[in-house]
Amino acid sequence: MTRPEILAAVDLGSNSFHLQVGRALDGQIYVLDSLREGVRLGAGLTADKRIDRATQTRALETLLRFGERLRGLPRHAVRALGTNALRVAKNAPQFLREARAALGFPIEVVSGREEARLIYLGVAHSLPPAAHARLVVDIGGGSTEFIIGTGFEPRLTESLYMGCVSWSLRYFDGGRIDKARMKAAELAARQELASMVRAYRAQGWHEAVGSSGTARAIETILLESGFAHSGITRDGLDRLRSLLIKHEGADPERIAGLRENRAFVLPGGVAILGAVLEELAIEQMTVSEGALRHGVLYDLLGRVQHADMREATVVQYMRRYHVDPQQAECVRRLALAVYDAVARDPGREPESAREDDADRLLLDWSARLAEIGLSIAHAQYHRHSAYVLSNADMPGFSRMEQQRLARLVLAHRGKLGKVEDLGLESGEWLLVLALRLATLFLRSRTDIKVPLLRVSQDEAGFALALPQAWLEENPLTADALESESGYWKAVGMRLTVEGLSEKKVAALGRG
């Protein structure tokens, strides 16, 4: 039996915020604690796509409470994710700075397809094993995710910008429901679905599964109202729709099983689900307890057990874009050596410290992915690489991780002015230096013996020292280092290059 580890997931959804704490043991997650608060982040979006201050305050107060529950957990054991509302909000970067401070842990914003992957992972672990394909539909507050997969492997993923909060606000303003509004909401949802229906029908599935709050709320109403015996049926949903239109609203006192905090978003959810059942010809849908937060816990468990989805994605991208594995490995080793020379803390255990070092991981991946753009064109290949990393679907990576990868790869060659205004964090300049020096020294793509390097950092910049004799034997590299110093000077930072005498080199070697 392995030692249990406490893991936690925070889901900053467009309707509700969720915290789930689990105990990982022998490959399984056992839930210890769950918290949910209806923040309605999506409803707080103004007409110009900014989260209003009242909603921000409500969200920050919730995160402070969540942070208290998470206090004492190590950083690697907690993952907090933002979804659709934070994907579209123009003031998300400013809000996230306050949100991270309130929670006490980093918060990532994930793409719709990465959200779909994690949802499927959570659902798959909550259902009995099956050999057949499953279609998972997750209607959230601001988006709806669709996944077809078998076992724990998703095969087809999609995320559409329609959710129970956004649809309720758009088509049922004030909570009033009538036949015309419901028809308009369902028609709009069917139009959104049109882009993906053919591909999903062609892929096929044996079982349809609904997940998250909307599906569970509708199932509860259908069961308590006697509209279905289990799960969600098309006939049961038709009867619920008729009931909402008859009462001209979602009234918890007149609809069995409807909770007060779900009433506002129910009509939008019913309209979207009705369109899904119609367009995908679904008669019966099972409802799962699994959701995004469960998937995050299992994804965290994979990282703890060295089965990180991000590593698998990096390997896949290297193959897809025909990256030279030998060159990538040489650059990776040298870049990490430069980073370690500056960043290593003598008081930490070297191996465990490195495993938990997010910046070191970022540098590792960047070194191996820096040349993916060569498969597009040699000229300006680093820009092609950065574009791919910034815009592609990369399973396991959050949007912010992809942006950091793209910035670092863009900065790894050429002038530095192009990245100065891209929001590099102070600690990222060391990553830039490490990757640039590794690329510079290994530019010949031969089995070159890199000399003894000393690298240090101060407030003004960096200092590099290496044997003078080696510099004299390698004039091209010496010239490149001189140019490199100029690039750093142009962005207001110092990079000094010192040639060491044989006596100093010998002394350092003995040390």
Closest Cα partner for 365 from 404, 392, 337, 413? 404
Gap between the Cα atoms of 312 and 307, Å rounded: 8
206 Cβ neighbours under 8 A, 6+ residues apart: 130, 132, 133, 134
pLDDT of residue 347 exceeding 50, the answer is no
Return the higher-pLDDT residue of 233 and 175: 233
State what percent of residues in the chain have pLDDT above 90: 62
- Sequence letter at residue 426: S
pLDDT band at 1 (very low <50, low <70, confident <90, very high): very low
Gap between the Cα atoms of 181 and 139, Å rounded: 19
pLDDT for residue 422: 74
Gap between the Cα atoms of 285 and 154, Å rounded: 18
Instruction: Please state whether 212 falls in left (phi above 0), alpha (psi between -120 and 50) or beta.
Output: left
| pLDDT averaged over every residue in the chain | 89
Contact 321, 375 (CB under 8 A): yes
What are the start-end ranges of the H helices in 127-163?
A: none
Task: Please compute the mean of the pLDDT values over residues 435-453 and round it to a whole number.
Answer: 82
pLDDT band at 510 (very low <50, low <70, confident <90, very high): low
In this structure, of 230-239, 249-258, 433-442, 500-509, the range with the lowest mean pLDDT score is 500-509
pLDDT digit string, tens, across residues 150-200: 988 999 999 999 999 999 999 998 889 999 999 999 999 999 999 999 999
pLDDT of residue 469 exceeding 80, the answer is yes
pLDDT of residue 13 exceeding 50, the answer is yes
Coil, helix or strand at residue 174? helix
pLDDT digit string, tens, across residues 275-323: 999 999 999 999 998 899 999 999 988 876 656 778 888 998 999 999 9
pLDDT for residue 356: 45
pLDDT digit string, tens, across residues 81-100: 999 999 999 999 999 999 99
Closest Cα partner for 84 from 3, 153, 134, 144? 144
pTM of structure? 0.76
β-pairing, 494-500 with 133-139? unpaired
All structural domains of the chain: 5-109+295-299 (3.30.420.40), 128-287 (3.30.420.150), 308-449 (1.10.3210.10), 451-511 (3.30.70.2260)
Name residue 166's beta-bridge partners.
Answer: none
Return the higher-pLDDT residue of 129 and 424: 129
pLDDT for residue 281: 95
176 Cβ neighbours under 8 A, 6+ residues apart: 248, 249
Q: Edge-to-edge, what's the strand order for the sheet holding 28-37? A: 28-37, 17-25, 5-12, 78-82, 107-109
The string of DSSP letters for 450-505 reads: PPP-EEEEETTEEEEEEEHHHHHH-HHHHHHHHHHHHHHHHTT-EEEEEEEPHHHH
Contact 102, 67 (CB under 8 A): yes
